[in-house]
Amino acid sequence: MNHKKLLSLYLLIIMTLAFVIGIIPSNIVKGETSSAPKFESLESDDNPVGNQISFSNGTIISVEYSVDRYAGIDGVLIIGQGSNLTEIVENALSLNFSTSFEDRSYYKGSFNLTENTYFKGYSYVGLETNGTEEEVEIFNHLDSWHYLYVSDNEGEILPPEMYTKPVNTSNTDKQGVYYTHTDQEITFYYQIHNGDENDSVTLVLSTHKEKITNGILTEFDEDVTFIQMEYDNFTDTSSGDPIFQHTLNFTYRTLYFTANNSYGWDSWSDDGLTTNINIYEINNGFYFESEPSIVDQKYTDIDNVEFTIKAYNSTINETYGISYYVVESADNDTRIVEWAEINGTFTTEYNETVTEDYNTTVREYNCSIGIYNANNIIYYESYNIYSNEYYNETSGSFHTLFIYDSRPQLSLHPYDQAYTNNPSVTFTYEIELVRGNITEILLDFGDGSLIANLTDDEDNSTTHEYSASTNSYNITLTVTCSLGTNNTITHLLTLDIENPVVNIISPTTNSTVSYNGYVEMYFDWDDNLGIKKVWVDWGDGTVWNATGDNFASHIYAYNGTYEATIMVEDLAGNMSNKTIIFSIIIEISIYSEPTPFATFTVITAISLIAYFGNKKRRDN
């Protein structure tokens, strides 16, 4: 091979290596891989089981594991004991490859649960014997495995059952929840059916229920405590089952507990073993709530909104605060402040007596969230952080706080755009305050006279005399309150003492005579400010609304002389009228009443027509 060909080969190799390195995922190049499988989930008859580990005999159990996608794993097995599982890897249950996603590959498989069983994952490269077991934590008397139990193993040693409620606790209205005082010594009792005094029973404790349930199939964290219970040879049961006990000083606000042995967890009910694990609660009455710091709960647009959080039977080393958001108004739910949280500040601690021998410790926290506009609505609740866990307010629902207008709310009569024809005007007003007191009430009558200070007025009214002339006045009511805010309302009032002008015009005259009862009236009217209503009283009990017209007509039913009146009222209530006489001469009454003789005549005519009609038919 010559020099040029050799150089070309080197370049080709370099380019190929560069391309291969370029497509290798960065997590392989940059980090180390792990060959140990990771437990992902467990299903019972194709249904997720969550934290359940006790099942009926014959339940199909499906498990899923994942491994590092780039670790070169050739297969994943399930090793263990019980339900035809084995720890011999050559004979172990093989899982099927399911899918790969990002940097993990997933394997699934299932087996029939026929007895108490433990298992773990096992992945291998090449031969089955060249593998790595799943890393499972050891806790107390049980080894590093996942444990599944059959709930109907009659005749065998069974899981522990709580023999009696913890000593020095009382029942609450919630099943499985007990109450005790802080610093109280309590004792737990568990019995083992078909067991003996040499059995190993573990009491499991945590201040968080989820940390027990979440760890049952995977692993427990440091907040879960395991305590070996002691055989109690002083308590005798009628069945002869051994009793195990443990005593501790209750210094918590809430404590959760259960127990297990090598045959399962406490899953007992009144009807026997179930598939649900019992996790009980003991609490000291802890709860917390929030409320506005202003007692009447009426915050205004000049107030800094503050809340008081009360925590009952809490510990001093806890965090409390307010979660909230703010909307524009009741008619506009646009959020002007999105969800926010702000921690509170500890302010005071005191005791409230609950019983003669027990006091509740109350700790208060203050939380300030700022100033908001009138009509804004704040949705809020308090939160608590305890042992790195987040809790919502015990009430379980959001509160609302409406922001009121700090100004006095005013009403004034006469109303705006009102008219009057009386120079002596009585003004009445109403004032509503959210908080505080009225410090000044000023009423400007708008005519240049002295402004009235009505602060000492008791009946919310005053009378003012205007000069007898037509004019419009801006009446202004100004009220100041002790909050330092004020409000003003202005109404326009028009005084009008001039009567409107009304005339009956041609062709209408007093000499009008009607021979058929029909009459017409022509008229005009005028006013300096405007007409409110025009109507005609025809003098026979009939009234015609003629507002906006210059003509009216009417039909009289009877002979006679009638006095018809055209009436006009202006906006201020001033009135004028004109009267005209109509003479009615009706030769044939339109509305004449039938007489007995007329009725007789009609009947006779009908009879004669019928007689002659019948006679003619007979003659034919």
Count helices and strands (H / E) in the chain: 4, 50
190 found inside a domain: yes
Which helix (H) or strand (E) element contains residue 74? none
475 found inside a domain: yes
The answer to whether 404 and 300 have CB atoms below 8 angstroms apart is yes
Which of 150, 182, 208 is a domain's end point?
A: 150
pLDDT at position 49, please? Answer: 67
598 found inside a domain: no
pLDDT at position 394, please? Answer: 85
- Looking at the fold, whether 268 and 348 belong to one and the same domain comes out as no
- Looking at the fold, whether 221 and 115 belong to one and the same domain comes out as no
Q: Measuring CA to CA, how many Å separate 301 from each of 323, 327, 371, 374, 375?
A: 20, 14, 6, 5, 9
- Looking at the fold, whether 176 and 261 belong to one and the same domain comes out as yes
pLDDT at position 11, please? Answer: 52
Alpha carbons 310 and 323: distance in angstroms, whole number? 15
- Looking at the fold, whether 80 and 140 belong to one and the same domain comes out as yes
Which helix (H) or strand (E) element contains residue 602? helix 596-619
- Looking at the fold, whether 181 and 275 belong to one and the same domain comes out as yes
pLDDT at position 25, please? Answer: 44
Residue-wise pLDDT tens digits, 293-332: 987 778 999 999 999 999 998 888 899 999 999 999 999 9
Alpha carbons 470 and 468: distance in angstroms, whole number? 7
Q: What's the total number of domains in the chain?
A: 5
Residue-wise pLDDT tens digits, 58-94: 999 999 999 999 999 999 999 999 999 999 999 999 9
Q: Which of 523, 513, 499 is nearest to 572 (CA)?
A: 499
CATH code of the domain in which 394 resides: 2.60.40.10
Tell me whether residue 302 is exposed, middle or buried, using C-beta atoms within 10 angstroms of its C-beta: 0 to 12, 13 to 18, 19 or more.
middle
Which of 150, 172, 197 is a domain's end point?
A: 150
* Structure tokens given for 76: 């994943």
pLDDT at position 296, please? Answer: 76
- Looking at the fold, whether 480 and 549 belong to one and the same domain comes out as no
- Looking at the fold, whether 380 and 454 belong to one and the same domain comes out as no
pLDDT at position 456, please? Answer: 76
1 found inside a domain: no
pLDDT at position 400, please? Answer: 95
pLDDT at position 51, please? Answer: 60
Q: Backbone phi, then psi, for 510, in 5-degree steps?
A: -70, -15
pTM assigned to the model: 0.60
pLDDT at position 345, please? Answer: 96
20 found inside a domain: no
- Looking at the fold, whether 164 and 126 belong to one and the same domain comes out as no
Which of 126, 150, 174 is a domain's end point?
A: 150
pLDDT at position 476, please? Answer: 97
Q: Which amino acid is at 116?
A: N
pLDDT < 50 stretches in the chain: 18-31, 589-593, 595-606, 608-618, 620
19 found inside a domain: no
Give start and end residues of each alpha helix (H) in 176-242.
Answer: 209-213
- Looking at the fold, whether 131 and 204 belong to one and the same domain comes out as no
- Looking at the fold, whether 97 and 170 belong to one and the same domain comes out as no
Alpha carbons 248 and 183: distance in angstroms, whole number? 10
18 found inside a domain: no
514 found inside a domain: yes
A 10 A CB-CB count for 372 gives 20
How do strand 531-537 and strand 543-545 relate by DSSP bridges? antiparallel
| Domain around 90 | 30-150
- Looking at the fold, whether 266 and 320 belong to one and the same domain comes out as no
- Looking at the fold, whether 483 and 520 belong to one and the same domain comes out as no
